[in-house]
Amino acid sequence: MRKLIPALLCLFCFTVAAHDMPGMHMSNGPGLGASAAFDAHGRLWVVDAANGHVRLRHSDDLGKTLSAPVDVNAVAEPIYDSGENRPKIAFGPRGELYVSWSQPRAKPWTGFVRFARSLDDGAHFSAPVTVHHDAAEITHRFDALAVDGQGRVLLAWIDKRDLEAAKAKGKPYLGAAVYYSWSGDEGRTFVPERKVMDNSCECCRIALARTPDGEVAAFFRGVFGDNIRDHAYAPLPTDGGPVHAGRATFSDWHIAACPEQGPGLAVDDAGTRHAVWYEASHGPAIRYGQLDPGHPPQHVLKLAGPGAGHADVAVHGKTVWLAWNQADANGYALVSRVSTDGGLHFDAARTVATSTAAVGSPQLLVQQGQAFVAWNTADGFRLVPLGAR
SS3 9: helix
Cα gap 375→48, rounded to integer Å: 12
Cα gap 284→259, rounded to integer Å: 10
Q: Which domain holds residue 208?
A: 5-388
- Looking at the structure of the chain, the number of domains it has is 1
Instruction: Specify the CATH number for the domain of residue 88.
Output: 2.120.10.10
> pLDDT per position in the chain (389 positions), as tens?
333 333 333 344 444 433 344 343 444 567 799 999 999 999 999 999 999 999 999 999 999 999 999 999 999 999 999 989 999 999 999 999 999 999 999 999 999 999 999 999 999 999 999 999 999 999 999 999 999 999 999 999 999 999 999 999 999 999 999 999 999 999 999 999 999 999 999 999 999 999 999 999 999 999 999 999 999 999 999 998 999 999 999 999 999 988 999 999 999 999 999 999 999 999 999 999 999 999 999 999 999 999 999 999 999 999 999 999 999 999 999 999 999 999 999 999 999 999 999 999 999 999 999 999 999 999 999 999 997 55
Are 304 and 286 in contact by the 8 Å Cβ rule? The answer is yes
Cα gap 27→94, rounded to integer Å: 34
Cα gap 302→276, rounded to integer Å: 10
